[in-house]
Structure 1
Amino acid sequence: MRLLTALLLLCGVVLGGCGGSGSDTTVSVLGSWTGQEEVSFRAVLADFQKRTGIHVDYTGTRDARAVLASELHDGRPPDTAVLSRIGDLRGYAAGGDLRPLSGLPHGADDGLTTAAGPDGGRRPYGIVVKATVKSLIWYNPRTIPSGLRDRLTAPPRSWADLAEAAAESTGARPWCLGLADTSNSGWPGTDWIEDVLLHESGPEVYDAWVSGRLPWNSAPVRNAWRAFGSVVAGARGGTNGILLTGYGQAGAPMFTDPPGCLLDHAGSFATAFYNQAASRPQPGRDYDFIPFPGRRAVEIGGDVLGMFRDTPAARRLIAYLTTAHAQEIWIKRAGSGAFSLNRAVPPERYPDRLSQRIAQTLTSAQTVRFDASDSMPTVMAAAFDHAVLEFAADPRDPRLDTILTALDQVRRTTRFPS
């Protein structure tokens, strides 16, 4: 996390440490934030404009990835762009499209917001504007069986402990699970496999796997897939239900009477979906969470801003967005679901007790890692998503052998950034 502290110094060092030319009165930003996310981001930008007099031209579109690729192809990239996949950022850095963020103290890089490029990854190429905290297990304190609730209160010390407690629960199916998404179905299953691997095998194994150095058919990866297979076997709705249920609706049966499932593995974004339930559930009373058991580690999803045109205005915006002041504007907005990696932002700045506890889980973690599939090259990530759907349809060992062999073939033929 040292980089996050160092980025606070960016206002003082980046302006004098970077070259480049371009506008000092306007900066363009391309991003995928629309709806309430765009409203929150524009609140941050409004404060920046008031402080600096620099106009920010923000374009929000769900097709931001395709728009960016088209604009780069035409030689007219935006000054900055927000990328939802750290793997995309690393790819653009390696291809020379991104400008490095110069001026950071030597050795202050902890790897969270860097992307490997032509310089071997020695300099950061992006900043995390906001994060989603994953590695959370959600439940409804009002409807969960008392025995399972007591087991969660302890809480479980390992994945095996949690799996045992879930298997012993009576009544409803233990696991809520939905793998469907309009853009790329399967990713909720990749989150499961990633969390098991990170918390059971540790960050070194996780990093080797993400970087393409650890085979998919190795024992740690295989064991993580088997753990996910046990979740599939205990999930509500069976195979068809899992494949057809949207990830945002998977946890809704926790709020029915009687409940249809008891435990939902989802990131901090889940609260926005829970709040839409007909019973109007309240945080803390109707839904609560425990951290994923095992090592004190947290997986995050990060929206990362990179600089495609090195202009004075772009550098000033990047410097501003790293500050605690800027990030607090966003996180204080109720329902924003935004979390900051800046340790200068204390948990009590978040708008409710539940969000404060999630923030504390993040700040107290010994290990923080980006979502693995978001960090992998696009072709590897796509194969991973598809493999999860195949496995969910038939989670038996013979099928798993075939799936992992195919994934490892993709790994061997894919170029991973160094």
Structure 2
Amino acid sequence: MIRRLGPALVLLCCLSALSCGRSGGGESISVLGPWTGQEEQAFRAMFAGFEQATGIHVDYTGTRDARSVLGSEIHNGNPPDLAVLATPGELRDYAAAGVLRPVDDALKASDLRAQYGAGVGDLTVVPGPTGERHSYAVIVKAALKSIIWYAPGKLPADARIRLTAPGLTWKELTRVASGLGSSGGRPWCMGMEDTANSGWPGTDWIEDLLLHRSGPGVYDQWVAGTLPWTSAPVKQAWQAFGSVVAQAGDRGRILLTNFGRAGTRMFVTPPECFLDHQGSFITAFYGQALGRGNASPGPETDFDFIPFPSADEQDRSPGDGQGDGQGDGQGDGGRSGAGQGRAEEVAADLLGMFRDTPAARRFLAHLTTRAAQEAWIRRPASGAISLNRSVPVDAYPDALSRRIAGTLTAAGAVRFDASDSMPQTMAAAFDHAVLAYIADPGRLDALLADLDQVRRAPH
């Protein structure tokens, strides 16, 4: 909220333990987000120059319970000017409810197209309360999800050569993984536990499999709820995930192991597992684990990655025509960005505007600039990636981060994490179904039928 604070109001704010604008009066905007600790420091670095250049004070509140706090403040009729939204699903819900304000006027379309490339800006375009589509957020930072990690020093030499060969396909990866099973450890690291949100690492697996086997068009129909969960492409993605689970070891351990600790089993001697499917943010967990015995954990030396492999031609599943007839016409014949580069899955932190003010608009525009984006990604081990193509790769702190950024900027298609983009009831059912499937893979048909009932129900 923009406000001019006199001395009395400043004193009142401070006495009531509320955040205040700069002393002596001046414009101030309130921002709510989930970042604390080092992440909060990185975000503050993004807007330090903005405050100096404009004289606008950014009153940031960071809390790990940002979603609940935001919901309460909206309910009480006193939302912050701007708030970070954890998922595109939340973005859609708030936009449709009319509590979010469009940000189109705050951003120059020509600048966005030049900086972010075709399609990326569309990730934040959703229907408003009247059905008219607008951009309702800016992307503060992103994480690349379509990644498989390994520990170079722990991987047998022949497996490493095959794993890093150009044009690696899913079938060849499964052969490499099968061979690793005879090396003493499990081929795959896997953990599903994440307090109240357990199961999402499994949804990431299924999403990547569907995207790379069936292409962005089929993926979009599935996310939009027009492709049944019982359709052949979706079921085949679950079955492929099931084959990975079978190689990952004890199912009970998978269900109880925290997602951030699962991959650190690659680094012990002898390694307990060899391959980990996680987003670029996982490097922070790796760095913490390695830092206990190694003062300077090295990207590409201690841990490295390969892009999620493409499907073999004969294994591609272009869809079976079982949609509801409500698709968006954006299918590509089942090819994952065929002829246009790979498709990549991302997660992203979105900043939405709940109070439309000139200062809030200026702040949103600032966050999309190269200077603001570089302020966060320059920090070591952040795992953060910018979708702004004007950010040079040498802005990243190490060679591994530069390769991740290059993988994303070269993508022919970029898609948000599917479960993050689905209605919250659908996403929760997806998480729970993953846990049930791992516990009992024989229930797949029943689980998919149950998910389809949730899909058809009004949200």
TM-score normalised per structure 2: 0.83
Does the CA contact (< 8 Å) of 1:255 and 1:279 recur in 2?
no
Show the counterpart of 1:166: 177
Does the CA contact (< 8 Å) of 1:22 and 1:312 recur in 2?
no
Q: 1:288 aligns with which of 304, 307, 314?
A: 304
Q: 1:229 aligns with which of 234, 237, 242?
A: 242
2:128 is aligned with 1:150: no
CA distance in 2, matches of 1:95, 1:63: 21
Q: 1:177 aligns with which of 179, 183, 190?
A: 190
How far does residue 414 in structure 1 lie from its aligned partner after superposition? Answer: 3.5
CA distance in 1, matches of 2:125, 2:74: 21
Note the alpha carbon deviations across 1:254-303, whole angstroms, 9 max, x for none: 11111110100001111111112244342111110000011412111100
Note the alpha carbon deviations across 1:142-185, whole angstroms, 9 max, x for none: 11122221211214533222122211222121000000002300
Query: Larger relative contact order (C-alpha < 8 A, sep ≥ 6)?
Result: 1
Root-mean-square deviation over aligned CA pairs:
1.8
Q: Specify the SS of the correspondent of 1:76.
A: coil
Show the counterpart of 2:380: 334
Q: 1:206 aligns with which of 219, 236, 247?
A: 219
Note the alpha carbon deviations across 1:199-228, whole angstroms, 9 max, x for none: 110000000000101000100100110111
How far does residue 121 in structure 1 lie from its aligned partner after superposition? Answer: 5.1
Note the alpha carbon deviations across 1:340-372, whole angstroms, 9 max, x for none: 111111211101111001101111111111000
Does the CA contact (< 8 Å) of 1:115 and 1:126 recur in 2?
no
Does the CA contact (< 8 Å) of 2:2 and 2:28 recur in 1?
no
CA distance in 2, matches of 1:35, 1:155: 39
Note the alpha carbon deviations across 1:219-267, whole angstroms, 9 max, x for none: 010011011101110004x111101100000111111111110100001
Counterpart of 2:104, as a letter, is: S
Counterpart of 1:291, as a letter, is: P
Show the counterpart of 1:404: 448
Counterpart of 1:274, as a letter, is: Y
CA distance in 2, matches of 1:140, 1:184: 27
Counterpart of 2:282, as a letter, is: A
Identity, % of aligned positions: 61
Show the counterpart of 1:258: 270
CA distance in 2, matches of 1:305, 1:194: 24
Counterpart of 2:303, as a letter, is: Y
2:28 is aligned with 1:26: yes
CA distance 1:232–1:156, shift in 2 (3 Å)? farther
Q: Specify the SS of the correspondent of 2:134.
A: coil
Does the CA contact (< 8 Å) of 2:374 and 2:391 recur in 1?
yes
2:255 is aligned with 1:243: yes
2:429 is aligned with 1:383: yes
How far does residue 42 in structure 1 lie from its aligned partner after superposition? Answer: 1.1
What are the residue-to-residue correspondences of 1:268-417 with 2, within 5 Å?
A: 268-277=280-289, 278-280=292-294, 281-294=297-310, 295=336, 296-396=342-442, 399-415=443-459
2:203 is aligned with 1:193: no
Q: 1:129 aligns with which of 140, 144, 147?
A: 140
2:67 is aligned with 1:62: no
Counterpart of 1:215, as a letter, is: P
CA distance in 2, matches of 1:119, 1:348: 44
Counterpart of 1:66, as a letter, is: S
Does the CA contact (< 8 Å) of 2:143 and 2:348 recur in 1?
yes
How far does residue 115 in structure 1 lie from its aligned partner after superposition? Answer: 2.5
CA distance in 1, matches of 2:130, 2:213: 33
Q: What 5-or-longer segments of structure 1 have no aligned partner? A: 1-19
CA distance in 2, matches of 1:119, 1:139: 48
Q: In terms of mean alpha carbon deviation, does 76-85 or 43-52 score higher?
A: 43-52
CA distance in 1, matches of 2:458, 2:154: 47
Does the CA contact (< 8 Å) of 1:254 and 1:260 recur in 2?
yes
CA distance in 2, matches of 1:181, 1:245: 9
Paired residues, number: 393
Note the alpha carbon deviations across 1:18-52, whole angstroms, 9 max, x for none: xx987781111011111111111111122211111
Note the alpha carbon deviations across 1:43-92, whole angstroms, 9 max, x for none: 11222111110001111111111111111111111001001111101110
CA distance in 2, matches of 1:231, 1:116: 37
Q: Specify the SS of the correspondent of 1:276.
A: helix
CA distance 1:241–1:121, shift in 2 (3 Å)? farther
How far does residue 105 in structure 1 lie from its aligned partner after superposition? Answer: 3.9
CA distance in 2, matches of 1:155, 1:183: 39
Q: Specify the SS of the correspondent of 2:441.
A: coil
CA distance in 2, matches of 1:334, 1:220: 39
CA distance in 1, matches of 2:421, 2:142: 14
CA distance in 1, matches of 2:399, 2:2: 45
Show the counterpart of 2:52: 50
Q: What 5-or-longer segments of structure 2 have no aligned partner? A: 5-25, 311-335, 337-341
* Rg comparison, structure with higher value: 2
CA distance 1:186–1:121, shift in 2 (3 Å)? farther
2:83 is aligned with 1:81: yes
